[in-house]
Protein backbone atom coordinates (compact mmCIF):
# COMPACT_ATOMS: atom_id res chain seq x y z
CA UNK A 1 0.00 0.00 0.00
CA UNK A 2 1.31 3.46 -0.88
CA UNK A 3 2.01 5.97 1.86
CA UNK A 4 -0.48 8.74 2.56
CA UNK A 5 1.00 12.23 2.61
CA UNK A 6 2.35 14.20 4.28
CA UNK A 7 5.07 12.03 5.76
CA UNK A 8 6.40 12.98 9.18
CA UNK A 9 10.14 12.36 9.24
CA UNK A 10 11.57 11.85 12.73
CA UNK A 11 15.28 12.65 12.75
CA UNK A 12 18.10 13.17 15.22
CA UNK A 13 18.93 16.86 14.99
CA UNK A 14 22.20 16.31 16.89
CA UNK A 15 23.54 13.90 14.26
CA UNK A 16 25.43 16.00 11.71
CA UNK A 17 24.97 13.45 8.89
CA UNK A 18 21.25 13.10 9.67
CA UNK A 19 20.76 16.86 9.86
CA UNK A 20 22.53 17.47 6.56
CA UNK A 21 20.37 14.91 4.82
CA UNK A 22 17.21 16.36 6.35
CA UNK A 23 18.30 19.87 5.29
CA UNK A 24 18.58 18.56 1.75
CA UNK A 25 15.08 17.03 1.88
CA UNK A 26 13.75 20.25 3.41
CA UNK A 27 15.09 22.26 0.45
CA UNK A 28 13.71 19.69 -2.01
CA UNK A 29 10.31 18.98 -0.50
CA UNK A 30 8.02 17.74 -3.28
CA UNK A 31 4.66 19.46 -3.01
CA UNK A 32 5.09 19.78 0.77
CA UNK A 33 4.82 16.01 1.17
CA UNK A 34 7.46 15.92 3.89
CA UNK A 35 7.32 17.27 7.46
CA UNK A 36 10.32 17.25 9.76
CA UNK A 37 10.36 16.45 13.48
CA UNK A 38 13.59 16.74 15.44
CA UNK A 39 13.52 14.03 18.10
CA UNK A 40 16.15 15.97 20.08
CA UNK A 41 13.95 19.07 20.40
CA UNK A 42 12.94 19.85 23.98
CA UNK A 43 9.26 19.75 22.94
CA UNK A 44 9.44 16.24 21.42
CA UNK A 45 7.42 13.57 23.26
CA UNK A 46 8.03 10.03 21.99
CA UNK A 47 5.13 8.68 24.07
CA UNK A 48 2.71 10.90 22.14
CA UNK A 49 3.52 8.66 19.16
CA UNK A 50 3.30 5.43 21.17
CA UNK A 51 7.04 4.86 21.12
CA UNK A 52 10.01 5.37 23.42
CA UNK A 53 12.97 7.70 22.96
CA UNK A 54 15.10 4.59 22.52
CA UNK A 55 12.91 3.48 19.60
CA UNK A 56 13.31 6.80 17.84
CA UNK A 57 17.04 7.03 18.56
CA UNK A 58 17.75 3.50 17.34
CA UNK A 59 16.79 4.22 13.72
CA UNK A 60 15.08 6.78 11.56
CA UNK A 61 11.27 6.70 11.58
CA UNK A 62 8.65 8.02 9.19
CA UNK A 63 4.91 8.16 9.85
CA UNK A 64 2.43 8.59 7.04
CA UNK A 65 -0.85 10.50 7.21
CA UNK A 66 -2.70 7.28 8.13
CA UNK A 67 -0.47 6.84 11.20
CA UNK A 68 1.60 3.98 9.75
CA UNK A 69 5.22 3.92 10.91
CA UNK A 70 8.16 2.79 8.83
CA UNK A 71 11.73 2.69 10.11
CA UNK A 72 15.24 2.19 8.85
CA UNK A 73 15.53 1.42 5.15
CA UNK A 74 11.72 1.37 4.79
CA UNK A 75 11.63 4.95 6.10
CA UNK A 76 14.07 6.06 3.42
CA UNK A 77 12.11 4.21 0.74
CA UNK A 78 8.93 6.02 1.83
CA UNK A 79 10.72 9.38 1.65
CA UNK A 80 12.19 8.67 -1.78
CA UNK A 81 8.82 7.49 -3.10
CA UNK A 82 7.32 10.85 -2.10
CA UNK A 83 9.27 12.38 -4.98
CA UNK A 84 7.84 12.60 -8.50
CA UNK A 85 8.05 9.67 -10.85
CA UNK A 86 11.31 9.71 -12.82
CA UNK A 87 13.19 11.69 -10.15
CA UNK A 88 16.57 10.48 -8.90
CA UNK A 89 14.94 9.54 -5.57
CA UNK A 90 12.28 7.39 -7.19
CA UNK A 91 15.02 5.66 -9.18
CA UNK A 92 17.03 5.20 -5.99
CA UNK A 93 13.99 3.65 -4.29
CA UNK A 94 13.60 1.22 -7.19
CA UNK A 95 17.29 0.31 -7.07
CA UNK A 96 17.35 -0.20 -3.28
CA UNK A 97 14.19 -2.34 -3.55
CA UNK A 98 15.88 -4.90 -5.81
CA UNK A 99 16.18 -8.26 -4.00
CA UNK A 100 19.98 -8.62 -4.33
CA UNK A 101 20.59 -5.05 -3.11
CA UNK A 102 18.07 -4.71 -0.26
CA UNK A 103 19.89 -7.00 2.22
CA UNK A 104 23.16 -5.13 1.68
CA UNK A 105 21.47 -1.76 2.22
CA UNK A 106 19.83 -3.07 5.41
CA UNK A 107 23.21 -4.19 6.76
CA UNK A 108 24.81 -0.87 5.84
CA UNK A 109 22.04 1.14 7.48
CA UNK A 110 22.09 -1.05 10.61
CA UNK A 111 25.84 -0.41 10.98
CA UNK A 112 25.38 3.34 10.44
CA UNK A 113 22.51 3.51 12.97
CA UNK A 114 24.48 1.49 15.53
CA UNK A 115 27.65 3.58 15.29
CA UNK A 116 26.42 7.05 14.29
CA UNK A 117 26.98 8.25 17.84
CA UNK A 118 30.70 8.12 17.02
CA UNK A 119 30.30 10.70 14.23
CA UNK A 120 30.99 14.39 14.83
CA UNK A 121 28.10 16.25 16.47
CA UNK A 122 26.58 19.62 15.66
CA UNK A 123 28.27 22.45 17.54
CA UNK A 124 26.71 23.57 20.83
CA UNK A 125 24.71 20.35 21.19
CA UNK A 126 27.28 18.48 23.24
CA UNK A 127 27.64 20.93 26.13
CA UNK A 128 24.49 19.57 27.77
CA UNK A 129 25.13 15.87 26.97
CA UNK A 130 22.54 16.12 24.19
CA UNK A 131 24.91 14.17 21.95
CA UNK A 132 24.63 11.03 24.05
CA UNK A 133 22.25 8.59 22.37
CA UNK A 134 21.01 7.52 25.77
CA UNK A 135 20.78 10.93 27.41
CA UNK A 136 17.45 11.70 29.09
CA UNK A 137 15.34 14.39 27.44
CA UNK A 138 12.63 16.74 28.62
CA UNK A 139 9.41 16.46 26.66
CA UNK A 140 6.10 18.23 26.32
CA UNK A 141 2.84 16.80 25.09
CA UNK A 142 2.45 18.97 22.02
CA UNK A 143 3.27 16.11 19.67
CA UNK A 144 6.73 17.28 18.69
CA UNK A 145 8.16 20.35 17.16
CA UNK A 146 7.39 20.60 13.50
CA UNK A 147 10.06 22.51 11.65
Q: Over the stretch 4-58, which tens digit does the pLDDT of each residue have?
A: 999 999 999 999 999 999 999 999 998 999 999 999 999 999 999 999 999 999 9
Total domains in the fold of the chain = 1
Sign of the CA dihedral running 67, 63, 51, 37: negative
Q: Is residue 74 part of a domain?
A: yes
Range of the domain at 45: 7-118
Rounded (to 5) percent helix, strand, coil in the chain: 40, 15, 45
Residue pLDDT, tens place only, 78-137: 999 999 999 999 999 999 999 999 999 999 999 999 998 898 887 654 444 444 444 444
Q: Is residue 131 part of a domain?
A: no
Total-model pTM: 0.80
Q: Is residue 145 part of a domain?
A: no
Q: Is residue 140 part of a domain?
A: no
**Residue 119 pLDDT:** 84
Q: Is residue 36 part of a domain?
A: yes
Q: Is residue 102 part of a domain?
A: yes
Q: Is the pLDDT of residue 147 over 60?
A: no
Side by side, which strands form the sheet with 61-63? Answer: 34-38, 7-11, 61-63, 69-71
Q: Is residue 48 part of a domain?
A: yes
Looking at the DSSP bridge assignments, the partners of residue 94 are: none
Q: Is residue 142 part of a domain?
A: no
Amino acid sequence: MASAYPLEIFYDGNCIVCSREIDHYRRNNPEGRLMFIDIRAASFDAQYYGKSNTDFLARMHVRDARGNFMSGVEAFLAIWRAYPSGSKYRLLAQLVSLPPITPLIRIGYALFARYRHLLPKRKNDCASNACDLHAPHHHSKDGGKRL
